[in-house]
Copies of this chain bind each other. A is one copy, B any other.
Amino acid sequence: MSAKRYLFTPGPTTVPPEVLAALAEPVVHHRGSDFRAIYAECLQRLKQIFRTSSDVLLFTASGTGAMESAVANLCSPGSRVVVVSAGSFGERWIQLAERYGCEVEAIRYEWGEVPVADDLASVLGDASDVRAVFMTQSETSTGVVADIQALAAAVRPSGAHVVVDAISSLGAVPLDVDAWGVDVACAGSQKALMTPPGLAMASVSDAVWAPEGSSSSPRFYFDWDRTRRAQEKLDAAFTPATSLVVALNVALGMILDGGLEQTFERHRLLGRACREGAKAMGLELFSPDDESAAVVTAVSAPGGVDATELVALLRDRYGVQLANGQAHLKGKIFRIGHIGYYDVFDIATALGAVELGLADLGADIERGIAVTRALDVYAEGAKV
């Protein structure tokens, strides 16, 4: 295997050396004054990244923990909820809501399709008894980024709470939590936030904290009220993953120093370069061929090539880790994540590896065509 390793999956993502260095700092006590200062700064920076004036609750957990917190804190057995699902992570909302005894209405799209706000508006109709609508901003399994602003607007007349899985999208593509009326946005440390996995977040709008906001579902570790009361005193409810919080704070500082809008623009440009490079090889995109697809590029494996084999070969022979398709797409597509600590040379490396790997598997690819096209597109875009 190649000695050098490249992590180009849609999460976990590569972590900057500055963040790794912070991880290796001596452990501090979570109730000590030095940690409290970092914790306060981290919580404040999260609000800026979420673009909210409400609380962002921080959990030591995978992103799914934040998703479960939304279901457990908002829904009681029998709660009517709607889920917009167009892939693996939309299905996770359905599983979670069913597990908590909700009456779930699922709006299901084919994997790879883009959810349509009008569909959601029709399903909601003039219903006023829907507790929450769950949706996915970046469907990591397909590369589709949904129009959360439009979907949230479609929910508004119903008064239902808008809950967004923004795990792979937060910090990569715009999410205006307050301006768009998103009640709950869930995120994780290991995607665009450039930190190892282990921290999950949920922004919770002031509307949710109203008295009727509490559900009868049992919960303790993921209880929002307990977490909020503790955070207000800068005192985590339970011993947090202090090293990860220190690291996250460094990463958030880097993102905010670079500018959120500039970060979004970089992701858009990298997505464009990746798509154009893949197409230059003659490959077919599975994710949408438009500017929305700024998080993950999903590519259909060319005829005769098994994506499972390609992903394994790239990892074992070239040290380049891409992602396979999930569920029924396994072996049919491969996915290149361009999230977080990522630049055009990473796109070139990923595409260069695909060129080499496909040639190894017998495909007829003009050497350098994808890399050349990606650099070209990047140079054009960066000029603007």
Measured between beta carbons, the chain B residues less than 8 angstroms from A321 are 29, 32
Q: Given B12, B26, B196, B238, which contacts A20 in the complex, CB threshold below 8 Å?
A: B26
Question: Nearest-CB distance from A218 to chain B (Å)?
Answer: 5
| A100/B241 contact (C-beta < 8 A), A27-B15, A60-B62 known | no
The yes or no answer to A68 lying at the interface (CB within 8 A) is: yes
The yes or no answer to A190 lying at the interface (CB within 8 A) is: yes
The yes or no answer to A63 lying at the interface (CB within 8 A) is: yes
The yes or no answer to A292 lying at the interface (CB within 8 A) is: no
**Residue from A68, A188, A221 having most chain B Cβ neighbours under 10 A:** A221
The yes or no answer to A96 lying at the interface (CB within 8 A) is: yes
Q: Are B14 and A220 in contact (CB under 8 A)?
A: no
Question: Nearest-CB distance from A381 to chain B (Å)?
Answer: 28
Chain A window 19-56, contacts with chain B (Cβ cutoff 8 Å), 1 for yes, 0 for no: 01101111111101100000000000000000000000
The yes or no answer to A164 lying at the interface (CB within 8 A) is: no
Q: Given B28, B64, B218, B221, which contacts A7 in the complex, CB threshold below 8 Å?
A: B28
Question: Nearest-CB distance from A74 to chain B (Å)?
Answer: 13
Q: Are B242 and A197 in contact (CB under 8 A)?
A: yes
Q: Are A65 and B221 in contact (CB under 8 A)?
A: yes
Measured between beta carbons, the chain B residues less than 8 angstroms from A28 are 5, 7, 12
CB-CB nearest in chain B for A216: B101
**Residue from A24, A27, A30 having most chain B Cβ neighbours under 10 A:** A27
Question: Nearest-CB distance from A343 to chain B (Å)?
Answer: 16
The yes or no answer to A315 lying at the interface (CB within 8 A) is: yes
Bound-complex Cα distance A326 to B221 (A): 20
Enumerate chain A interface residues (CB-CB to B < 8 A): 5, 7, 9, 11-15, 20-21, 23-30, 32-33, 60-65, 68, 71-72, 95-96, 99-101, 188, 190, 196-198, 217-222, 238-244, 315-316, 321
Q: When A and B form their complex, which 3 residue pairs have the shortest distance between CB atoms, in order from nearest? A: A198-B241, A24-B24, A62-B238
